[in-house]
């Protein structure tokens, strides 16, 4: 079978830590890149100490975003440590970092130094606010990006407090835009023979993901508000409570709406002037929600899900995390995996959503995260040709 991994043969030096950067480089590893994670001797990525901890003492948090990478310890604060990194960069394709802007320059590892060693190098810098602008040096976390980028203002129940999204979309959005930028830069390098310094800001990515909220404000002049699970432009499209539990459904076009009216035994809704079109239904959403809530409360969730699914009306239960891990469809698509850990076999990790049709289990990524520094000697020997005496001396001086 032909290897479908597009980044096979690409070497990535990963200087990132915690979430946005590591999630970016993990996806590069899933795409076939050789990812060498550079960590501080003795401590490593901050998230190695984040809960939850496995019985082995390893962080499950760290494992969840660092699979498929090698770990090399290298103290960049030493001049010789920075020089070793430059040597590695000269034989690599991509460097990814998520330090505060200016840190790479203080290490004398900025884009100009990397480019001097390797004119085709691609440096991807992921930060809270970017490499330029008045807020470039401000500290940022996921919640800061969600707050400033508008996401929190439209998340939550009507009239309620703003709510942070349940997953770290500030970090994860920046990570995935980083992957897109890197893949694009590789295409330019292959075409034109030049590298690039990519500037990915968490705040920029949150604004890019506002999609129709900006459009609605531009057209109406009204500031978008929190709507709970309701869609601002499609009705019905939200959660409802059945007699026993919650579920979601949506009628995104008129054909689905007509089928929906029949399946809930309310064909008269099709001719109700308040609900004739999606625009009408959205304008009268409160009246429709009240009516549907009374209907759905009469029968259990499974009853409604079965009827709606049989009529090809999009619907689903609201699965909790345990239910996600037991989903047979996700299992069939290799999205529920158990991490390859030498001492603990109970850690569940997601597979890669980046798949090719027809390759079967070939799209299952490596699920092992390297121990701190376990690849140091191997990488420095195989990539840079260091012998045991040089490695011992570097280790004695705490550079590696």
- Residues with catalytic roles: 231
Tokens of 29: 């590893």
Do 210 and 149 meet the contact criterion of CB atoms below 8 Å apart?
yes
Alpha carbon distance 310, 301 (integer Å): 14
Task: Give the integer Cα–Cα distance in Å for 237 and 282.
Answer: 10
**Largest separation between any pair of C-alpha atoms in the chain:** 85
Alpha carbon of residue 13 to chain centroid = 19
Q: Is 26 exposed, middle or buried (0-12, 13-18, 19+ CB in 10 A)?
A: buried
Q: Is the peptide bond before 236 cis (omega within 30 degrees of 0)?
A: yes
Closest by CA to 30, choosing from 332, 356, 375, is 356
Handedness of CA 241, 242, 245, 250 (dihedral sign): negative
Whole-angstrom distance, CA of residue 365 vs CA of residue 5: 10
The two structure tokens encoding residue 152 = 């929190």
Q: Which two tokens stand for residue 117?
A: 């060693």
Query: Rounded distance, CA 248 to CA 318, Å?
Result: 7
Q: Cα–Cα distance between 131 and 100 in angstroms, integer?
A: 9
Write out the two tokens for 203: 């705040």
Indicate the burial class of 372 (C-beta count within 10 angstroms; 0-12, 13-18, 19 or more): buried
> What's the rounded Cα separation, in Å, for the pair 176 and 193?
24
d(CA 27, CA 353): 9
Contact 375, 71 (CB under 8 A): yes
Q: Could you give phi then psi for residue 265, rounded to 5 degrees?
A: 60, 40
């Amino acid at each position: 079978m032909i290897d479908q991994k597009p980044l096979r043969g690409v070497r990535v030096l990963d200087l990132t830590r915690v979430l946005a950067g590591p999630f970016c480089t993990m996806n590069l590893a899933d795409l076939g890149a050789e990812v060498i994670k550079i960590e501080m001797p003795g401590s490593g990525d901050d998230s190695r100490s984040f809960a939850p901890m496995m019985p082995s003492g390893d962080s499950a948090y760290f494992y969840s975003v660092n699979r498929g990478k090698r770990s090399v310890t290298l103290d960049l604060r030493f001049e010789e440590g920075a020089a070793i990194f430059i040597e590695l960069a000269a034989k690599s394709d991509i460097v990814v970092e998520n330090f505060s802007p200016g840190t790479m320059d203080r290490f004398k590892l900025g884009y100009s130094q990397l480019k001097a060693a390797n004119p085709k190098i691609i440096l991807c810098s992921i930060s809270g606010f970017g490499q330029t602008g008045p807020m470039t040096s401000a500290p940022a976390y996921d919640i800061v990006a969600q707050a400033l980028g508008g996401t929190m203002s439209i998340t939550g129940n009507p009239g309620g407090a703003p709510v942070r999204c349940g997953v770290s979309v500030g970090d994860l959005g920046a990570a995935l835009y980083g992957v897109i930028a890197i893949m694009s830069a590789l295409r330019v390098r292959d075409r034109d023979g030049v590298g690039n310094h990519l500037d990915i800001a968490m705040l920029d990515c949150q604004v890019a993901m506002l999609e129709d909220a900006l459009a609605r404000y531009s057209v109406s002049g009204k500031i978008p508000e929190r709507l709970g699970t309701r869609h601002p432009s499609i009705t019905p499209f939200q959660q409802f409570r059945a007699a026993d539990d919650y579920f979601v459904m949506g009628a995104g076009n008129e054909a689905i709406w007509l089928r929906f009216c029949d399946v809930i035994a309310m064909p008269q809704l099709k001719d109700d002037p308040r609900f004739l079109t999606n625009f009408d239904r959205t304008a009268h959403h409160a009246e429709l929600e009240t009516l549907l809530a009374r209907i759905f409360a009469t029968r259990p969730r499974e009853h409604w899900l079965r009827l709606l699914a049989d009529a090809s009306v999009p619907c689903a239960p609201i699965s909790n995390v345990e239910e996600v891990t037991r989903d047979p469809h996700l299992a069939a698509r290799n999205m529920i995996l158990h991490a390859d850990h030498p001492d603990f076999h109970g850690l569940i990790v997601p597979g890669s959503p980046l798949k090719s049709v027809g390759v079967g289990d070939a799209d299952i990524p490596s699920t092992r995260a390297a121990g701190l520094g376990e690849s140091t000697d191997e990488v420095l020997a195989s990539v840079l040709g260091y012998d045991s005496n040089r490695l011992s001396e570097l280790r004695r001086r705490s550079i590696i």
